[in-house]
């Protein structure tokens, strides 16, 4: 295990070289939660400033690996560095096999927006970060479907205003969006208003837009790329 500055993107995210996109996304979400401000899990290990630095590294790793094209290029770089040896450098082939028995056995559909109270069955969802992996695309009500389609036809660019309009057509409030995506409501507002100076670093903005796009049933990558072309390069 090398120190952070020497780790490659896979090691930073804690995924094997052959990780699926889902695994990569999942690892990113866990890390995002782990190293957030005031995190319970890193309290006594890392300061908030260190958390922030780690998060930036992780976000960068995620951005490169989640996009198949940039991932391909990156893999090629790694192979070249290793002298053509593409063998995955896993520390140990730890079996990540699904636990055959879990505290929760029911197959109820995971309701991403469900608030959890102490009395509530934790069984209602599987033991994982709720909606953190991939927010389910919105179930479109029949009467909205046509409206969504029509609107999409008129869209020329996926800017903040477009995302806002779409969200409204879908009938999702900002609070609900925040609940589903686990993105702070304030950030969602800034995204829609394109007040970039109040948003964190570009890697985060892109991540947020990806998730919001997914939630709205849009092609995440394309939307994120278009949106990011509107974000000015920041000083930091």
Partner 1 sequence: MRLEGGASEASPRSGSPGRIEKPVGQLIREKEIIAIGGGKGGVGKSFLASNLGILIAKSNKKAVLIDADLGGANLHTCLGIPAPDVTLSDFLTNPNTRIEDVILRTSLDNLMLISGAQDFLGVANPKYSQKFRLLRAIQSLNVDYVVLDLGAGTSANTLDFFLLADKGVLVVLPEPTSIENAYRFIKSALYRKLKLVTADSRARTVIDTAMDKKNDLGIGTPIELVEHIAKIDSRVGAALEEALTQFRPRIVVNQVRSLGDVRIGYAMQSACQKFFGIKVDFVGYLEHDEQVWQSIRRRQPIALNGDNSKSGRSLRSISHNILNDLQLKPE
Check residue 153 for interaction with partner 1 (CB under 8 A). Answer: no
Cα–Cα distance between 90 and 8 in angstroms, integer?
A: 12
| CA distances in angstroms from 145 to 47, 155, 173, 218, listed in the order given | 47, 16, 17, 13
Stretch that binds partner 1, among 69-77, 127-135, 206-214, 218-226 (CB under 8 A): 127-135
Check residue 127 for interaction with partner 1 (CB under 8 A). Answer: yes
Which of 54/201 has CB closer to partner 1? 54
Which of 123/195 has CB closer to partner 1? 123
Cα–Cα distance between 165 and 192 in angstroms, integer?
A: 9
Helix (H) / strand (E) element for 224: namely helix 220-228
Closest distance of CB 118 from partner 1, Å: 5
- Which listed residue (16, 52, 54, 136) binds partner 1 by CB under 8 A? 54
Cα–Cα distance between 166 and 154 in angstroms, integer?
A: 12
Q: Which two tokens stand for residue 99?
A: 């636990």
- Taking alpha carbons only, the member of 217, 199, 107, 201 closest to residue 158 is 217
Number of residues that bind partner 1 (CB under 8 A): 46
Residue 74 makes CB contacts below 8 A (sequence gap 6+) with: 9, 64, 65
Check residue 107 for interaction with partner 1 (CB under 8 A). Answer: no
- Which listed residue (9, 15, 31, 65) binds partner 1 by CB under 8 A? 31
Closest distance of CB 129 from partner 1, Å: 5
Closest distance of CB 206 from partner 1, Å: 21
Helix (H) / strand (E) element for 214: namely helix 202-215
- Which listed residue (97, 143, 232, 235) binds partner 1 by CB under 8 A? 97
Under the rule (CB under 8 A), what is the footprint of partner 1?
A: 1-4, 14, 22, 26, 29-31, 33-35, 39-46, 54, 91-92, 94-103, 105, 116, 118, 122-123, 125-130, 133
């Amino acid at each position: 295990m090398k120190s952070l500055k020497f780790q490659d993107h896979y090691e930073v995210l804690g995924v094997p070289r052959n990780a699926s996109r889902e695994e990569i996304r999942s690892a990113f979400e866990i890390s995002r939660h782990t190293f957030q401000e005031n995190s319970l899990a890193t309290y006594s290990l890392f300061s908030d400033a260190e958390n922030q630095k780690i998060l930036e590294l992780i976000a960068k790793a995620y951005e490169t690996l989640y996009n198949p094209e940039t991932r391909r290029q990156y893999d090629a770089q790694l192979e070249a560095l290793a002298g053509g040896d593409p063998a995955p450098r896993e520390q140990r082939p730890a079996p990540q096999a699904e636990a055959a028995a879990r505290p929760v056995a029911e197959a109820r559909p995971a309701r991403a927006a469900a608030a959890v109270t102490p009395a509530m069955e934790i069984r209602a969802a599987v033991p994982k970060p709720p909606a953190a992996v991939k927010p389910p695309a919105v179930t479109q009500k029949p009467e909205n479907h046509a409206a969504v389609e029509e609107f999409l036809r008129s869209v020329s660019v996926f800017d903040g205003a477009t995302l806002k309009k779409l969200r409204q057509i879908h009938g999702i409030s900002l609070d609900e969006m925040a609940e589903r995506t686990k993105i702070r409501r304030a950030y969602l507002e800034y995204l829609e208003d394109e007040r970039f100076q109040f948003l964190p670093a570009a890697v985060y903005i892109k991540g947020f837009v990806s998730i919001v796009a997914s939630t709205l049933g849009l092609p995440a990558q394309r939307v994120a790329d278009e949106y990011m072309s509107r974000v000015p390069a920041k000083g930091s």
